[in-house]
Each structure stands twice: as structure tokens, then as C-alpha cells.
Amino acid sequence: MPDRDLKTGLLTRLHERHSIVCVVGLGYVGLPLAVAVAEAGHKVIGIEIEETRVAAINDGRSPVADVPSEQLERLVADGRLAASTSYSAAARADVVVIAVPTPIDEYRVPDLSAVQQAAAAAARVMKPGSLIIL
């Protein structure tokens, strides 16, 4: 399919709220973002390496103070937000947003290994025409 048609298809699905958005890393940035995107009407799948965090989120228990558990519980119950440890979810995604840690060392140089790992894992399964955001 030509690039222009892929782009039009993506924009239409986003406008019509038929899109699936993956947020990789459900921490202080990723979880509030995932909730905001789900509240906007998109289906959200969070990809997170910490199994206990995935279990808590799918149980409606928020591990992040900015996100009330009641809100998370409602979105999970409505099927608007789910979490997984598997990158296979990125195969269905229209948009993948990476929000994994980038800790700095004593020289203030960021360690980008988690970003590289997440980008490579998502790129292995993402479909043509989908959008990836770092």
C-alpha cells in the first residue's frame, strides 16, 4: 500500500477512535499517559516488564500516585486499558509510545539501553504504517 494511504488510514482510525495505542513502560510517565489516551476513547495496551506491576494494573490497583485506582479500575473493566509483559501486543498497535527509564550516570550521560531494547522489540512486530513515538 502506498505511504499516503497508510498515513490516511492511520489518521482516520485515530480520528474515529478505532485505533489501538501501545504504551511501553507503565511508570510515572507511561501510566498517566496510557490513562489519558484511554479516556480520550482509544483502546490502550500497556507493555511493561515488571510482572507485579502488570498484575496490579490489570487488577485496577494503581502503582502511581497521579492515577487513582478507581479510574484505572473503570478503564480496565470497560476493556479500554490492559497491561501485558508481551511485546506481541505491539503487532496490533496503530501507535506505540515508548516511556521507559533513561537513568543518567555521574557525568549526566543517559543510559539508553532500555529505549533501544524497547524500540527493537516493538519494531520486530509492528505493522507498516504505524507510528512510533519516543
Ligand X SMILES: NC(=O)c1ccc[n+]([C@@H]2O[C@H](COP(=O)([O-])OP(=O)(O)OC[C@H]3O[C@@H](n4cnc5c(N)ncnc54)[C@H](O)[C@@H]3O)[C@@H](O)[C@H]2O)c1
Residues that bind ligand X (CB under 6 A): 24-30, 47-50, 53, 99-102, 114, 117-118
Give the nearer residue to ligand X in terms of CB position, either 6 or 85: 85
Q: Where are the alpha helices (DSSP H) in 63-112?
A: 69-77
Q: How far is the CB of 17 from ligand X (least distance, A)?
A: 25
Q: How far is the CB of 96 from ligand X (least distance, A)?
A: 11
Cell 539501553 found at: 113
What are the cell numbers at 39? 479516556
The CA distance from 130 to 134, in Å, is 14
Give the nearer residue to ligand X in terms of CB position, either 10 or 71: 71
Q: How far is the CB of 43 from ligand X (least distance, A)?
A: 19
What are the cell numbers at 7? 498515513
Give the nearer residue to ligand X in terms of CB position, either 9 or 110: 110
Extended beta strands in 50-113, E state: 81-84, 95-98
Q: How far is the CB of 12 from ligand X (least distance, A)?
A: 29
Give the nearer residue to ligand X in terms of CB position, either 47 or 126: 47
* Strands of 95-98's sheet in order across: 81-84, 43-47, 20-24, 95-98, 131-133
